[in-house]
Structure 1
Amino acid sequence: MQNVDNIYILVILGMVGSFLMVGSFILLYVRNQNKILKQRQQLQFKEIEHQKELLQAIIESQETERKRIGQDLHDDVGTALSSLRLTIEMFKPASEEDNNNKHVNLSKEIIDKVIRDVRYISHNLSPPALSYYGLAAAIEEKASFINNSGQLTITLVNDAEEALKDISLPAAVALYRVLEELINNTIKHAGATQSVIKITAADNIISITYSDNGKGMDASSIIVGMGMQNIESRLTVINAGYIIESSAGQGFRANINYAIPAN
């Protein structure tokens, strides 16, 4: 009888040992899988950060080149055109009826137009208000220019004047370029007469809503065909999120949220 009891005890101990061994293998397997998963997540995170760094470097180089070309246009081409206008001004016609007078006036009008165009292109390439006065002033200047051109009526509602002062220059440039792209898309594609830019702030989060009363279209078509990849790239670099709302006949709306990094 005692031998039978011993056999039972040995069987039970063997089963317990087997369970412990299986449990240990399972724990080791789960731990290894978690370790592998964590390593993969770290690699993915590093890859995403590396892509962001590359994207940021490309955008910064583009902005540097824009600034250089803008300054060259303003300083060299603009100055040359102004000198040319002064030279033409020196030609005095013999009388008001002189045909040369008409040519001189026409030449001055053409040069004046080219000077305005060069100044506009120069400011678009590198808006001086953005560097000197900040994002709010740059957006206001852009809206004012578009309103004066008659291409579109832009209403700007800025309820985040103080918060915008805390935005770094790279983030300000990114948000300005995004709004610029949205405005250009409205003018080129939407057939809109009005657009609204509303800026608010709460808990260090800047919210920008851009909308127009244009013809609208399917959101997926906008992402593919209206420069949204460029917009997404700029917002990705500064860790900003966005939502596009649009449908045929219902206009266009973009909601952008940017969290100001803590100092």
Structure 2
Amino acid sequence: MASPEEVTFGQLLYGGIAFMLLAGGGVVAFLLMYQRRLLQQQLQLRTTEGSHQQQLLVAQQELLLAVVAAQEGEREDISQELHDGIGSSLSTAKLLLHHLGKNPTPEECSRLVVLLQDVMTTAVQEVRSISHSLYPAVLARHGLAEAIQRLTDICNETGQVPVSFTLGYYQPLGLVRELVLYRICQELVANALKHAQGATYVAVRLAQEGAVLKLEVQDDGYSFLSLPLGLGSAPAYGNALCNIGVRVQLLHARLHHGPESEPGTRITIELGIAVPHP
């Protein structure tokens, strides 16, 4: 017969073993639940990341389609310029040459030659203008500021609304970003000259404020925007404003329109840039 001390020891031993088993089981259960919850969180995170990546992919595809559409729109505009401008000038030149081949009088011949010279001068100017719009070589050689200055000079040669350019300090951006920003400026100036009714001036400003480069185009005519222009907004004037919106997105820039209290139209592009530490 076991003594009371042996019974007590046995009870304590079995009780300790049972407690350890229960505690161990509890720990195992806790670890299994924790691992399961962790797996669920990881799965949810992966699902969220997958959804986010899918959204980014869709956004990139939409942006790519917008870029392609903008390029096609530009090609269509250039084709129209070639047809209406250079095509018309060459047709006129051909007609004048035809008249010169009919043995005109000396006076008539002199008059036709003068007209032919004027027509060919106009055609050369149109070719130069289209060539500059396709690729501004001055930008690659001298940078954004010189390219915008050349753009305003060409606009002023047409004898339409005077276009001015004010330049402040700015940090060079690199050829690709400067080319995109130049295209935005080109579109804004072209829209102001074409659609801002009653405008007496168009002003272009380029300056850097801290880590932000600002490009501003302003006119005092009747606003050519029927809708506030911003990222993702519907363009009010066709391909041109759509192209601007696409390029603003490509630069990861911001676009501001207004204020509406001012006469005319003022559009500002703000582009964040890295400022080197002294």
1:190-205 → structure 2 map (5 Å cutoff):
190-191=196-197, 192-205=199-212
Q: Which amino acid aligns with 1:241?
A: R
Residue of structure 1 in register with 2:119 after alignment: 110
TM score, norm. by length of structure 1? 0.67
- Write the distance in 1 (CA, Å) between the matches of 2:153 and 2:236: 27
Shift in Å, 1:42: 2.6
- Structure 1 residues 28 and 125 mapped into 2: Cα distance closer, same or farther (>3 Å)? closer
Cα-Cα RMSD: 4.4
Instruction: Work out which of the residue numbers 148, 164, 186 in structure 2 matches 1:180.
Output: 186
2:217 to 210, 219, 223: 210
Shift in alpha-carbon separation, 1:175–1:153, aligned structure 2, 3 A: same
Distance 1:49-1:138 versus aligned 2 partners, 3 A rule: same
Partner amino acid, structure 2, of 1:251: G
CA displacement at 1:119 relative to structure 2: 2.0
Pick closer, same or farther for the CA change 1:35–1:105 going to 2, 3 Å.
Answer: closer
What are the Cα deviations for residues 69-126 of structure 1, in whole angstroms up to 9, with x where unaligned?
x9xxx9xx99xx9xx99xx9xx9x86xxx33222222222222222222222222222
Corresponding residue for 2:258?
245
1:224 is aligned, of 230, 235, 260, to: 235
User: What letter corresponds to residue 203 of structure 2 in structure 1?
Assistant: V
SS of residue paired to 1:242: strand
Alpha-carbon distance between aligned partners in 2 of 1:110 and 1:61, rounded to the nearest angstrom: 30
Distance in 2 separating the partners of 1:189 and 1:23: 65
Q: In terms of Rg, which structure is larger?
A: 2
In structure 2, what is the equivalent of residue 38 of structure 1? 49
Q: 1:243 is paired with a residue of what secondary structure?
A: strand
- Structure 2, unpaired ranges of 5+: 1-27
Evaluate the alpha carbon distance shift between residue 134 and residue 210 of structure 1 in structure 2; reply closer, same or farther with a 3 A threshold. Answer: same
TM-score w.r.t. structure 2 length?
0.64
Distance change in 2, residues 1:24/1:104 (3 Å): closer
1:122 partnered with 2:128: no
Indicate if the aligned counterparts of 1:196 and 1:211 stay in contact, CA closer than 8 A.
Answer: yes
CA shift for structure 1 position 143: 1.1
Equivalent position of 2:25 in the other structure: none
The answer to whether the 8 Å contact 1:215/1:249 transfers is no
Note the C-alpha offset of 1:247: 4.2
Give the secondary structure class of the aligned counterpart of 1:224: coil
| Count of aligned positions | 237
- Secondary structure of the 1:225 match is coil
User: What is the aligned partner in structure 2 of residue 12 from structure 1?
Assistant: none
Cα shift at 1:50? 5.4
Out of 48-57 and 111-120, give the one that drifted further.
Answer: 48-57
Cα distance change, pair 244–223 in 1 and its aligned pair in 2 (3 A): farther
For each residue in 1:36-88, what CA deviation from the matched residue of structure 2 results, as whole angstroms up to 9, or x when unmatched?
Answer: 11221133234444555676688789999x8xxx9xxx9xx99xx9xx99xx9
Deviation at 1:186, TM superposition (A): 0.9
1:150 Cα deviation from its structure 2 partner: 2.7
Partner of 1:99: 108
SS at 2:183 equivalent? helix
Q: Assess if the C-alpha contact under 8 Å between 1:198 and 1:209 holds in 2.
A: yes
Q: What SS does the corresponding residue of 1:258 show, helix, strand or coil?
A: strand
Query: Any stretches of 5+ residues in structure 1 without a counterpart?
Result: 1-16
